[in-house]
Amino acid sequence: MGIRAIFLLSLFFSGNPGFNGCQSVGVQHPQECSQDSDCPVNSACEVHRCRCTNGFLFSGDGTRCLRVAESYGDSCEESLQCSSYLSAGGTCTSGRCACSPGFHYLHGFCYKKSELGETCFSSDNCYVNYQPGAAICENNKCRCSSEFYQREYRSCRRAAQKIGEDCAIDIDCKFDARATCDKSRGCQLNDSGTSVVERLEFSPRRAVKLNPEWIKKSCKSSSDCSSMGSATCSSHGTCVCDRAHFLSGTGDKCIPELGEPCTPPELPQIKNSVCREDVWSCKSTHVPAISNRECKKATTRYRTSCLFQEQCFVFGPDAVCTDRKCVCNDKSHYVDDKMFCWRNRGVGESCIENEDCYIRSSDVPVHCDGFVCSCLNGTHVSSDRSTCINDQNEIGGFCIGNEDCTTENSICADKSCVCAENHYQSEGKCLPGNFANCNQNLDCKVPNSVCRNGTCGCHNEHVAASVNLCVPVVPLEAPCKHHIQCSSRTPNSFCRILTPEPEGELEENETDLAGTCACGEGFYHNFEGCFRKRVLKETCQNIAECYIESNQNSVLCKNGICSCNFGWRAINDSHCESGGARMSSRTWMLLIVLGVLCTHTSM
């Protein structure tokens, strides 16, 4: 392998933009040709092969010549258009050129990103919390720059070293423990030690659109673009801004991006930016946009307004903008006095400070002991070693398995200690209720319950309304509080409340009812029971099912069909009227006697 090839490979793996990937600009198409018309648009026939013209490259399928990107945010169809300009980390996302995950945009390229403590090959690899220049590469490891201080293990913030210097939060003022960040966002000395923090509300303004196609000025050479500043004449015959520059809002000037060199007292052209240490950067109250072309206002109070992820940078790299509020992601927890989303570390993981140790699913605290996250005295590691459990874990306590619950007759259900089946809670204990196993009556704790055949149950004339309640059974039209009081005595009945609730349906174990037992819908009271209401001509199993509005003797269940009795005729489906053939009971009796006498006479 040649020396040049080795050099190019080292640039690629370091994330250095000097290597722009495998560019297809000018690469021949396998299609043979004899003239330009045989080739795709924006290509020409050279030596019997189609070749894209300067500034274009072949699409992935080789059927078209696509325009090479000339700036971050250019329109695109395929990632190759972007990586040819932005380097190997360039990609086409939602039709625009941007940097792939794991890369960040700086100096007009996509650099491979390294966080604090990670391996780096240049300071441009070190990208911490959206701020170019916050970290440098030293001995191939990223660390905070000298003008910044470290927060937690993954973040650097610019430190203010004297009264009046820019700040966003109190802890930025590092020169005195009494110093605070005042309403004007400058450090002051506060003898009382109280913090003055003002909420920064957003009044979003339109960001500069990332589209170099705005530059429509024709040119033949770069000298034609000199009035725009840092601009050149592209292969397409139009002026474009140089790398790491973008078009001003007026469209007549190219502006250097954040992170680019500046010379005081040069005036800033990006709102809320300053020339600091000869590099363009945002004020302490603002944060660079991912494009490095805008300074966005930072949020300085947890759970308050944001529109973009980077606006939450005050709270560290694990802060996210969700539902327009800055919050911690699922991998971190908020430490109020540090104003930081601290990365979670569980039991058994390495730690340096107590803030490192946190288990989101548990209220039991964890601490850092001997550089390992450990359980406090009075707690123990759960069965799956994922959290800490109280040694005396009562009903309602967090649990992983049944062995984590210390109350007798308790189990772990849905990660909470509860009483086992057929047991109920009373004064912190789980007592055997209805249907629990027993050896004697004393084992059954529910009033009016007894031990019968090894199982607790309600004694005679009582029924179980719930695991911890026995209630008396009652007949129809008697007072009741529970449906089961009625239905256990009379099937198909329920407790009809006297003052029904406007909402909701009553459950069988409710204890606040006040009503009387009645037949359920579709049933009616007859022969001391509740029977399904069957009208004339409907099927029946017995006469009690046949419903008639008056004179129950006028109906009968005949051949499985509700019918009017002999001597009666149907007026409607629930009424039988006596007919002319109706005979009195005395007449029926006389006929029966005569029949008997005639039988004996014939004998």
Q: What is the pLDDT of residues 511-564, one digit of tens each?
A: 456 899 999 998 988 888 999 889 999 999 888 889 888 888 889 899 999 999
pLDDT tens digits for range 107-133: 999 999 999 999 999 999 999 989 989
Q: Under a CB-based contact definition with an 8 Å cutoff, are residues 579 and 567 in contact?
A: yes
Q: What is the reported pTM?
A: 0.66
CB distance 498 to 516 below 8 Å: yes
Distance CA 227, CA 566 (A): 116
pLDDT of residue 372: 96
Strands, DSSP E only, in 130-195?
A: 135-138, 141-144, 148-151, 155-158, 179-181, 187-189
Residue extents of the structural domains in the chain: 212-297, 344-420, 432-470, 471-498+510-578
In this predicted model, which residue has the larger pLDDT, 598 or 391? 391
For position 383, what pLDDT does the model report? 79
As a whole-number percent, the residues of the chain with pLDDT over 70 amount to 84
Q: What is the C-alpha to C-alpha distance for residues 553 and 535, in angstroms, rounded to an integer?
A: 14
- At 256-305, the pLDDT tens digits run 999 999 998 889 999 999 999 999 999 999 999 999 999 999 999 999 99
> Taking the CB of residue 301, how many other CB atoms lie within 10 A of it?
17
Q: Is 537 exposed, middle or buried (0-12, 13-18, 19+ CB in 10 A)?
A: exposed
What whole-number distance in Å separates Cα of residue 367 and Cα of residue 205? Answer: 45
pLDDT for res 30: 64
- Is the model's pLDDT at 7 over the cut of 60? no
Average pLDDT over residues 447-473: 95
Pick the range with the lowest mean pLDDT from 30-39, 431-440, 510-519. Answer: 510-519
| Interval 178-197 mean pLDDT | 75
Amino acid identity, position 556: L
H or E element at residue 556? strand 555-558
pLDDT tens for residues 554-585? 898 999 999 998 888 888 988 998 875 444 55
| Confidence (pLDDT) at 492 | 94
pLDDT of residue 580: 54
Rounded to the nearest 5°, which phi and psi values hold at 311? -65, -15
Q: What pLDDT does 590 receive?
A: 54
Q: What pLDDT, on a 0 to 100 scale, did the predictor assign at position 293?
A: 97
pLDDT above 50 for 209? no
Query: Does residue 21 have a pLDDT over 50?
Result: no
Mean per-residue pLDDT of the chain:
85
